[in-house]
Chains A and B, each alone.
Chain A
């Protein structure tokens, strides 16, 4: 009799039903929110023996302090004078090899001459969410000898909640027009504006830092889809083209399939926007990331690790992509990080060739061959757990 009465209340009393449903939706909401807010926690980075200090971009642009655009800067200063070399990872956070390469530098590199400066998440806000409707995994997990390391995959844009709303069409300072969300793309707004939107303020702060700190070389790390021609290549500012050419030859002698382009005269890109507005020699490097491609299958952690996707065999066999691809071999994260590490090192060696009095000498950095042999996991510091 009691059970029948309960059923009657549940189905007939609207307020009782409302309470039950509100509790259910609250539970679902809390569980989802926890997952969602997990991405706001910064990646754990273990500064290696070469790191001499850690600062923030807001040290150079106080207006950025306390905003989601502020980000960490790692300084690796050598005991001998030399060039200042800035490496940017995470300009586009979904280009996963770039923050991982930057973190590998922070945890391994030792500088004897000059100073290496690394910003692992140039667009820090972009690491706090993944792009809508793409289905990218939130994190990539790497099994290091000491435990599991986890890095956020993030998005190529600034988080939409940090800069809202997007225009229908975004026209940058150079007059180039892009779809609205590109107004949150760090590599479309250089040289930025101090009084502009948050992403423009980040760009402006970065240029201020490069100028004031007298950075000599800047390498902006990127990845691209295999169906785009700017892939497995370097793009250099006009003043950096000789440096890029020598670096290219060095990398080709190591067996890398790599190309070079000169920066187009359109502001927005780092090689043009930063190159024209600072004294630094600006170079951008691209590798190939299959999971970003529009032809790929399910975007899983495994695809992020291995880059093995049979759908791309179809494009490769019909010559519609710009890289040699075989899904049996794939393009692994280790290979992509390795290419970036080799580029970082070769660029420093080429600079030393051109400017021997102001060389930068970096040691203890694994390059492509090392990463292909041991895997990226081997070079990341053990997890505390």
Chain B
């Protein structure tokens, strides 16, 4: 696997990890509305970033 692809794969895994964390926090029983709004908003650029990496 070329060096560039390994780096992109690692980056994709890290981004996916953050998306999982945000979605988990979003669905937390104790989460308050402002926190949930923050998690929902921050999900958008992270998801777009995963999409944009080949």
Which A residues form the contact surface with B (CB < 8 A)?
11, 14-15, 17-18, 21-22, 24-25, 28-29, 32-33, 36-37, 68, 161-165, 197-198
Binary A-proximity of B31-51 (CB < 8 A = 1, otherwise 0) = 111001101110110011001
Q: Given the complex of chains A and B, what is the CA–CA distance between A37 and B53 in angstroms? A: 11
Q: What A residues does B53 contact at CB under 8 A?
A: 161, 164
B33 to chain A, nearest CB (A): 6
Question: Is B37 a contact partner of A14 (Cβ separation < 8 A)?
Answer: no
Contact among B28, B44, B54 with A161 in the assembled complex (CB-CB below 8 Å): B54
Q: What A residues does B33 contact at CB under 8 A?
A: 11, 17
Question: Is B48 a contact partner of A36 (Cβ separation < 8 A)?
Answer: yes
Shortest beta-carbon contacts, A-B, top 3: A21-B40, A25-B40, A18-B27
Most buried by A among B26, B32, B54: B26
Binary A-proximity of B1-43 (CB < 8 A = 1, otherwise 0) = 0001001100100000000000100111111110011011101
A21 to chain B, nearest CB (A): 4
> What is the number of residues of chain B that contact chain A, defined by CB distance less than 8 Å?
26
Chain B contact residues: over half helix, strand or loop, or mixed? Answer: helix
Known pairs A14-B30, A163-B4 / 4 extra A-B pairs, C-beta < 8 Å: A17-B33, A17-B36, A29-B44, A165-B7
Q: What B residues does A21 contact at CB under 8 A?
A: 26, 36-37, 39-40
Q: Given the complex of chains A and B, what is the CA–CA distance between A163 and B3 in angstroms? A: 10
Question: Is B41 a contact partner of A25 (Cβ separation < 8 A)?
Answer: yes
Question: Is A164 a contact partner of B8 (Cβ separation < 8 A)?
Answer: yes
Taking A11-B33, A14-B28, A15-B27 as contacts, is the C-beta distance between A164 and B11 under 8 angstroms? yes
How many pairs of A and B residues are in contact by the CB < 8 Å rule? 60
Output the nearest chain B residue to A160 by Cβ-Cβ distance. B52
B6 to chain A, nearest CB (A): 11
Question: Is B44 a contact partner of A68 (Cβ separation < 8 A)?
Answer: no
Which B residues form the contact surface with A (CB < 8 A)?
4, 7-8, 11, 23, 26-33, 36-37, 39-41, 43-44, 47-48, 51-54
Contact among B27, B37, B39, B44 with A32 in the assembled complex (CB-CB below 8 Å): B44
Q: Given the complex of chains A and B, what is the CA–CA distance between A18 and B24 in angstroms? A: 10
Question: Is A24 a contact partner of B28 (Cβ separation < 8 A)?
Answer: no
A270 to chain B, nearest CB (A): 24
Question: Is A197 a contact partner of B36 (Cβ separation < 8 A)?
Answer: no
Q: What B residues does A162 contact at CB under 8 A?
A: 54
A89 to chain B, nearest CB (A): 25
Q: Given the complex of chains A and B, what is the CA–CA distance between A68 and B11 in angstroms? A: 18
A130 to chain B, nearest CB (A): 13
Question: Is B4 a contact partner of A14 (Cβ separation < 8 A)?
Answer: no
Q: What A residues does B37 contact at CB under 8 A?
A: 21
11 A/B residue pairs, CB under 8 Å, sorted by A: A11-B33, A14-B29, A15-B27, A18-B27, A22-B23, A22-B43, A28-B44, A36-B48, A161-B53, A164-B7, A165-B7
Most buried by B among A11, A28, A37: A28
Output the nearest chain A residue to B35 by Cβ-Cβ distance. A14
Most buried by B among A25, A29, A162, A165: A25
Contact among B4, B8, B36, B54 with A18 in the assembled complex (CB-CB below 8 Å): B36
Q: Given the complex of chains A and B, what is the CA–CA distance between A224 and B34 in angstroms? A: 46
A377 to chain B, nearest CB (A): 32
Question: Is B36 a contact partner of A14 (Cβ separation < 8 A)?
Answer: yes
A1 to chain B, nearest CB (A): 24
Q: Given the complex of chains A and B, what is the CA–CA distance between A198 and B4 in angstroms? A: 9
Question: Is A32 a contact partner of B48 (Cβ separation < 8 A)?
Answer: yes
Output the nearest chain A residue to B39 by Cβ-Cβ distance. A21
A29 to chain B, nearest CB (A): 5
Question: Is B4 a contact partner of A25 (Cβ separation < 8 A)?
Answer: no
